[in-house]
Structure 1
Amino acid sequence: MDRQKNWERLQQETFDICIIGAGASGAGSALDAALRGYRVALIDRGDFSGETSSRSTKLIHGGVRYLEQAIKKLDLAQLRQVRHGLAERRTVIRNAPHLAHPLAILTPVFSWFEGMYMTVGLTLYDFIAGHDAFPKGRWLKQAEALDKSPMLTRQMHSAVLYYDGQFNDARYALALTHSADEAGAAVVNYVAVTGFGRENGQLKTAVATDQLTGETISIRASVFLNCTGPYADAVRLLANPGLEPRIRPSKGVHIVLPRETLQSDYAILIPKTKDGRVVFAIPFGDKVFVGTTDNDYSDLTEEPVLEPDEVDYLLETVRPYLAKMPERSDVQAGFGGIRPLIVSSRADTKTLLRDHEVEHDSESGLLSLLGGKWTTYRLMAQDAIDRAGELLKKTVPGRTETHYLVGGEGYNLDDWKQLQSKYKLPEDVCQHLMRTYGNRAGKVAQLTKVQPVLAEKLTESQPFIGAEVIYQVREEMAVTVRDVLARRWRLELSNWQLTARLTPQVADLMAAELSWSETHRTSQINAYQSLLATFTKQAGLTSEQSTLAAN
C-alpha cells in the first residue's frame, strides 16, 4: 500500500463510494465495493482499526449470551444474531486462515444442574451452527477438564467444553484494507473529514485533512458511507445537524495476565458475574486476556483506558474459577474499546442489541453503517454496499464470501519449515512470520537477504525481527511507532514495559526507511513512551512498572 500514491488519487479521482472509517465495517465495505467494480476511497482519521476494531476480545462467535437471552425472553432478534454470527464464523476463518482459527473454551460449573443447563444450551449452540468444521462440545468430568486446563479450581463439579473462533483483530482489519487496496481502492490512513461540500443539499465532496502534513483536499464521490463505529454520530451530525443521535457508546476493557495463569490452550468462559454479564479468560500468544466489562461511556474525545476499579472487577470475577488466584501485581497491561451500540428503549448496555443497521439520510444523502460486531462484519458490509449500489443505480452482487484476504490463499502453517530452510531464521521467527503474514511471509524474510542485520530479533523474548518493520512501512502503510507496536504487532496490548523498551529500536528502523529527522524520531519515542507510562499510572499499577514503562 503506497500512501503517497493513494493520497494523490484522493485528489485527482471522482469515486463512486467514499468510505469514512477503516475499522472492520469500513475496511470490509471497501473490499466488498472494490470487488464489485465500484471506484472506492477508504480513509480513516487514524490508523487502520486504530480504535474499536483492534480492541476486541479476539473472538469470532455467535454469542452464547445472546442465545441464553433469546431463549429466556423468546427474543427472535437475538436468536437471529446468533444464527448470523455462527454462519459467519467459518467464513471469517476460511478467508484468512493465518489470522483466525477455532478455539476450545471450557465453562467450569459447580453443580450437576448447572452442568446440565450449560450442556443443553451449548448443544443448541452447536445445532444452530450446523455442519461446519468446528468440533462439537461436550460435558467433561472434573478430571478431564483439569487435564485440559490444569489451573482450574478444584472446587468445580465439572466443565462444559465448546468451540468458537479466535482471531488477530487488528491484523484481520489490516488484511481487509490491504485486500481492498489490491482490488483497486484508494486507501489512506490518518486522513480526517472536517466538513462536506453540497449541491442541492446532497453531499458531493468531503473536506479531508492529512493528519501528518496538515494538507487539506476535497474528495469527490457519489456516495459517502459512514463506518466510524462509536463515532458515527459525529459524522452524521457533520452531514446533517438536525439528526438525532443513534449511538450509545459502551466501554469494555481487558486485563492481561501471564500465560501461566491458565497454562493451557483452552480458554475459559465465566458464564455469570455479579452484574449479570459473561467474562472470558483467553490465551493469546504468551499472555492471557481477561474481559470484558460493559459500561456507558460518554467522553469520545478521550481514549478508553484501563482503570483501577476495572482491574479489581476482572480479577475478582476470574479468581473463583482458578486454583491459583491472580493478583494485581500479575497484571502486565490492558486495553479498552468502545462498542457502537444502537440506541433503543432497552434499559442498559448489556441488553442492547449489537445487530447493525444501514441508515440513509435522504436530506444529505449520507449512508451510515451503525452497530454490529466483528463476527458479522462481512454481512454488515454487504448490506451497506447493496444499499450504496441502489443509490448509485448500479447494483452488482457481492463476492466476498469466498474471497481470500491478503496472506490467506494456500496458507499452510507447516510452510514455516521451508521458510527456515531457505532463510536460516529461527523456528519461532518462521512460525511467527507465517501466522502474521500468511503466504506473504517470504516477502518479509527476503528482506533479510538484502540486509542480513534485519534478521536479528529485537528482543530474545519475542520473535519480532527488523525486517518486519521495513515490510510494514513499505507494504502495510505503518507511519508511526504505535502503528507497528500496537497493531501490526500486538505488543502494546500484552506488555507495556517491553513495548516501551522496544520503541527506540522500532523508531530507528522507521526513521531510516521514512527519512525522519532526528527531531521527529525523538518526538515519536518520547510521545509513545509517555503514553505507555500514562496507561500504567491510570490503571493503578505499581510505581516500578510505571518507571520501567517510562524508560
Structure 2
Amino acid sequence: MIFDRDIFITRIEEQANWDIIIIGGGATGLGTAVDAASRGYKTLLLEQSDFAKGTSSRSTKLVHGGVRYLAQGDVALVYEALHERGLLLKNAPHLVKDQEFIIPCYSWFSKIKYLIGLKLYDLLAGKSGFKGSSLLSADKVLSAIPGLKRGSLMGGVSYSDGQFDDARLALNLAQTASEYDGVLLNYMKVTGLTKNNGEVDGLSAVDMESGKGYQLQAKVIVNATGVFVDDILKMDTPASRPIVRPSQGAHIVLDQSFLRGDSALMIPKTSDGRVLFAVPWHGKVLVGTTDTPLDEHSLEPRPLENEIEFILETAGNYLAKKPARADVLSAFAGLRPLAAPQKNTNSTKEISRSHKLIVSQSGLITIIGGKWTTYRKMAMDVVDQAIALGKLKKEKCVTADVKIHGYMPEMQTGSLALYGSDAAGVKELMESEFGLDARVHPEYGYVKAEVVWMVRNEMARTVEDVISRRMRLLFLDARAALKMVPAVAAIMAGELGQDDQWIDAQIGTFTSLVKQYLLLSDGDEIGHYSEKTNLTET
C-alpha cells in the first residue's frame, strides 16, 4: 500500500486529468473514493484539513439503524441502515463490535412497548451478526450497569447495536482507496471550479503546506463537504441558496466509574426529543448527544453551555454518581449536515436524516445528509449517479465485499487493537528502532513508535492529527492530551524534517485547541508544556 503525501503530491503534479475528483475527506467523501477507486476509475480526493477533521470524528461512535427513527415510523431508513451495519461488521471487524445497550424501564407498559419495537428492529436487521433483544429484570439491569440509579426501576430491555471508532475508520477508508490506486490528499483546499461550456470540468486547489496551486481536470466533480457544501455550491453558482441546515450534537466524556460494567445506557426520550446514550468507549464513558439547530458552521464547533448543562442534568437523573462540570474529561461537538427545510423552522425533527443527491446544471454532484452507518450506500449512490449522467463508463459497485484496510477477523485486544493488521508494523518499529517502545504519556499506553507510524504510514501532518484523530486522546482526556504534546511534536519534527520553530508553533496551536475541549471557568489555568522533551523521561 502506498499512503504517502509526498508521493500523492507527485502524482497530481504528473497527472492533471482524473475520472472523478471528490472534495471532502469525511465519511461520505472517503466512502466515495473507495467506491470509485474499487470500480477502476482514476480517483482523487482533496480535503482542506485532515481526514475526518469535522463531523466524521465527532459522532456518538455508533453503527446503528436508529431506534429513534423506527419510533418515528421511518422503517425504510432503519432497514437500510441495519443492512449497512451488518456489512460494516463483516468488512471492518477490527473496528466495529457488537455492543449491548440497555433501556431502563420504570413501568410495565414501557417494558412491553420497547420490547415490541426492538423485536421489529431485530426483524429488520435479519441475520446480521448482532444479538437480539430481550427483557431484563431490575437486578439484571443493575448487574449490567452498576452505575445506574435503582429508584423505581422495574427492569429493562437489552438490545445490540454496533460501536466503532469513527476517525480510525475514516483513515482506514482512505488507506483502502489508496490500495485501489486512489490518490488522497489532506491539507489541500479547493479554491474554485473550472467550466467548459457551462459544464464543470475541473477545479483549482492550493496545498496548505507549501502554498503551491494546482489546476486539475475531471469528468466528474463530487461535492461531499458536509456542512461546507454550500461553500462549494457558491463556487458553482454564486447566487445559490443554502441547502444545508447544520444541527449540532454535543458530547461529554467521563471516567468509567460513572457507568461501570461493559453495557451501554440508552435513554429513549429526553426533553429535547433525542435519545441520550452513555457508552463505554476506550476505557471512558461517552455521553450524548444534543440536537441544536445552528445557522453557521465551522471546522471546530464548540459545545454550548446549555448543551453541557442538559447532558449533565439528564445523565444525573439516571446515574447514581451524578456528574458535575469538574468531572468532564473532554467535551466536543459535531455538526450534522442536514438537508435544509423549505420553510423556516427551528425543529431539526422536520429536517430529513436521509441523504440527498443534487446535480447542478453544471453537472456538479452534491451529496448531503445521511450518517456514518450508511456512508457506503451514499457513496454507491454518488458513483451510480455519475454513471447515469453518462460521465463515467458503467462499472459494478463491489464495496459490499471490500475488506477495509486493517481487516482482522475479529476485534483485537491491547493498546494496539485499533490498528488491526497494522499492529504488526507498529510492533516491528518498537523492536527495530531504539527507544521507540518508550511511552509518550506517563498514564496512557501510547508509545513513540505509534507517532512514527502515524507520520510514515497514516499521513499525520500536525500534532493535532496524531493526538486528536489517530490516538483519540484529545477526545478522551483533554488535559492528559496536553501533557504529551512536547514529546509528540519532537518526534514528528524529526520525521518531517521540521525545526524548533515548528515545534513551538505546534505546541502553541494545540494548547489553544485544548481549551475548547475543557469546561474552564474564569481564572482556570490548563498549564503550558513548552519543554521539548519526552515528559516520561524527565
User: Measured at CA, do residues 534 and 234 of structure 1 come closer, stay the same or move farther in structure 2, by a change above 3 Å?
Assistant: same
Task: State the SS of the aligned residue for 1:192.
Answer: strand
Match for residue 331 of structure 2 among 334, 355, 362: 334
Deviation per residue, 1:502-524 (Å, 9 max, x gap): 11110011011111011011101
**How many Å separate the matches in 1 of 2:19 and 2:159?**
44
Identity %: 38
User: Measured at CA, do residues 437 and 302 of structure 1 come closer, stay the same or move farther in structure 2, by a change above 3 Å?
Assistant: closer
In the TM superposition, residue 281 of structure 1 has moved relative to its aligned partner by 0.6
Between 225-234 and 388-397, report the one with greater CA deviation. 388-397
Deviation per residue, 1:99-138 (Å, 9 max, x gap): 1101100111111111111111111111111122111111
**How many Å separate the matches in 2 of 1:408 and 1:472?**
18
**How many Å separate the matches in 2 of 1:45 and 1:437?**
25
- 1:449: which partner in 2? 431
State whether residues 223 and 364 of structure 2, in contact with CA within 8 Å, keep that contact through their aligned partners in structure 1. Answer: yes
Note if 1:432 corresponds to 2:415.
yes
Note if 1:56 corresponds to 2:59.
yes
**How many Å separate the matches in 2 of 1:550 and 1:412?**
35
Deviation per residue, 1:363-408 (Å, 9 max, x gap): x210111111000000000000111223324110111111111110
User: Measured at CA, do residues 407 and 535 of structure 1 come closer, stay the same or move farther in structure 2, by a change above 3 Å?
Assistant: closer
- 1:107: which partner in 2? 103
Task: State the SS of the aligned residue for 1:547.
Answer: coil
- 1:397: which partner in 2? 396
**How many Å separate the matches in 2 of 1:7 and 1:240?**
29
**How many Å separate the matches in 2 of 1:280 and 1:535?**
19
State whether residues 97 and 411 of structure 2, in contact with CA within 8 Å, keep that contact through their aligned partners in structure 1. Answer: no
Task: State the SS of the aligned residue for 1:321.
Answer: coil
TM-score by length of structure 1 reads: 0.92
**How many Å separate the matches in 2 of 1:43 and 1:309?**
35
In the TM superposition, residue 409 of structure 1 has moved relative to its aligned partner by 4.4
Task: State the SS of the aligned residue for 1:477.
Answer: coil
TM-score by length of structure 2 reads: 0.94
**How many Å separate the matches in 2 of 1:8 and 1:197?**
22
In the TM superposition, residue 252 of structure 1 has moved relative to its aligned partner by 0.7
- 1:202: which partner in 2? 199
Question: Residue type of the partner of 2:526?
Answer: T
User: Measured at CA, do residues 298 and 540 of structure 1 come closer, stay the same or move farther in structure 2, by a change above 3 Å?
Assistant: farther
**How many Å separate the matches in 2 of 1:392 and 1:312?**
50
Note if 1:523 corresponds to 2:519.
no
- 1:45: which partner in 2? 48
In the TM superposition, residue 547 of structure 1 has moved relative to its aligned partner by 2.3
State whether residues 107 and 160 of structure 1, in contact with CA within 8 Å, keep that contact through their aligned partners in structure 2. Answer: yes
- Pairing 1:160-175 to 2, within 5 Å after superposition: 160-175=157-172
- 1:349: which partner in 2? 348
Task: State the SS of the aligned residue for 2:435.
Answer: helix
State whether residues 83 and 128 of structure 1, in contact with CA within 8 Å, keep that contact through their aligned partners in structure 2. Answer: yes
Match for residue 377 of structure 1 among 375, 378, 402: 375
**How many Å separate the matches in 2 of 1:11 and 1:352?**
42
In the TM superposition, residue 239 of structure 1 has moved relative to its aligned partner by 1.3
Question: Residue type of the partner of 2:172?
Answer: A
Between 448-457 and 332-341, report the one with greater CA deviation. 448-457
Match for residue 154 of structure 1 among 150, 166, 170: 150
Query: Superposition RMSD on alpha carbons, in Å?
Result: 1.6
In the TM superposition, residue 471 of structure 1 has moved relative to its aligned partner by 0.7
- 1:182: which partner in 2? 179
Note if 1:7 corresponds to 2:9.
yes
Deviation per residue, 1:427-468 (Å, 9 max, x gap): xxxx221x2111111111111222131011222422211111
- 1:281: which partner in 2? 278
Task: State the SS of the aligned residue for 1:80.
Answer: helix
In the TM superposition, residue 540 of structure 1 has moved relative to its aligned partner by 4.1
- 1:75: which partner in 2? none
- Pairing 1:243-262 to 2, within 5 Å after superposition: 243-262=240-259
State whether residues 94 and 408 of structure 2, in contact with CA within 8 Å, keep that contact through their aligned partners in structure 1. Answer: no
In the TM superposition, residue 30 of structure 1 has moved relative to its aligned partner by 0.3
User: Measured at CA, do residues 129 and 412 of structure 1 come closer, stay the same or move farther in structure 2, by a change above 3 Å?
Assistant: closer
In the TM superposition, residue 218 of structure 1 has moved relative to its aligned partner by 0.7
Deviation per residue, 1:192-250 (Å, 9 max, x gap): 11111211111122110111111111111111001101111111111122433211111
Question: Residue type of the partner of 1:208?
Answer: A
- 2:534: which partner in 1? none
- 2:315: which partner in 1? 318
Task: State the SS of the aligned residue for 1:455.
Answer: coil
User: Measured at CA, do residues 534 and 319 of structure 1 come closer, stay the same or move farther in structure 2, by a change above 3 Å?
Assistant: closer
- 2:141: which partner in 1? 145
Task: State the SS of the aligned residue for 1:336.
Answer: strand
Deviation per residue, 1:136-166 (Å, 9 max, x gap): 1111110011111111111122111111000
Match for residue 494 of structure 1 among 476, 493, 500: 476
Task: State the SS of the aligned residue for 1:432.
Answer: coil
User: Measured at CA, do residues 467 and 245 of structure 1 come closer, stay the same or move farther in structure 2, by a change above 3 Å?
Assistant: same
Task: State the SS of the aligned residue for 1:122.
Answer: helix
State whether residues 451 and 492 of structure 2, in contact with CA within 8 Å, keep that contact through their aligned partners in structure 1. Answer: yes
**How many Å separate the matches in 2 of 1:196 and 1:135?**
48
Between 497-506 and 198-207, report the one with greater CA deviation. 198-207
Structure 1 portions without partners, runs of 5+:
71-77, 417-430
- 2:533: which partner in 1? none
In the TM superposition, residue 311 of structure 1 has moved relative to its aligned partner by 1.4
Question: Residue type of the partner of 1:370?
Answer: I
Note if 1:365 corresponds to 2:363.
yes
- 2:300: which partner in 1? 303
- Pairing 1:202-221 to 2, within 5 Å after superposition: 202-221=199-218
In the TM superposition, residue 410 of structure 1 has moved relative to its aligned partner by 4.4
**How many Å separate the matches in 2 of 1:261 and 1:548?**
27
Note if 1:533 corresponds to 2:515.
yes
Question: Residue type of the partner of 1:297?
Answer: L
**How many Å separate the matches in 1 of 2:97 and 2:22?**
29
State whether residues 54 and 299 of structure 2, in contact with CA within 8 Å, keep that contact through their aligned partners in structure 1. Answer: no
Note if 1:475 corresponds to 2:457.
yes
**How many Å separate the matches in 2 of 1:357 and 1:38?**
23
State whether residues 96 and 411 of structure 2, in contact with CA within 8 Å, keep that contact through their aligned partners in structure 1. Answer: no
In the TM superposition, residue 57 of structure 1 has moved relative to its aligned partner by 0.3
**How many Å separate the matches in 2 of 1:409 and 1:542?**
47
State whether residues 196 and 239 of structure 1, in contact with CA within 8 Å, keep that contact through their aligned partners in structure 2. Answer: yes
- 1:426: which partner in 2? none
- 2:536: which partner in 1? none
Task: State the SS of the aligned residue for 1:497.
Answer: helix
State whether residues 219 and 392 of structure 2, in contact with CA within 8 Å, keep that contact through their aligned partners in structure 1. Answer: no
- Pairing 1:404-419 to 2, within 5 Å after superposition: 404-410=403-409, 413=412
**How many Å separate the matches in 2 of 1:333 and 1:445?**
29
Question: Residue type of the partner of 2:9?
Answer: W
Task: State the SS of the aligned residue for 1:372.
Answer: coil
**How many Å separate the matches in 2 of 1:326 and 1:534?**
19
Match for residue 385 of structure 2 among 375, 384, 387: 387
- 1:117: which partner in 2? 113
Greater percentage in helix: 1
In the TM superposition, residue 527 of structure 1 has moved relative to its aligned partner by 1.1
Match for residue 33 of structure 1 among 31, 36, 40: 36
State whether residues 19 and 392 of structure 2, in contact with CA within 8 Å, keep that contact through their aligned partners in structure 1. Answer: no
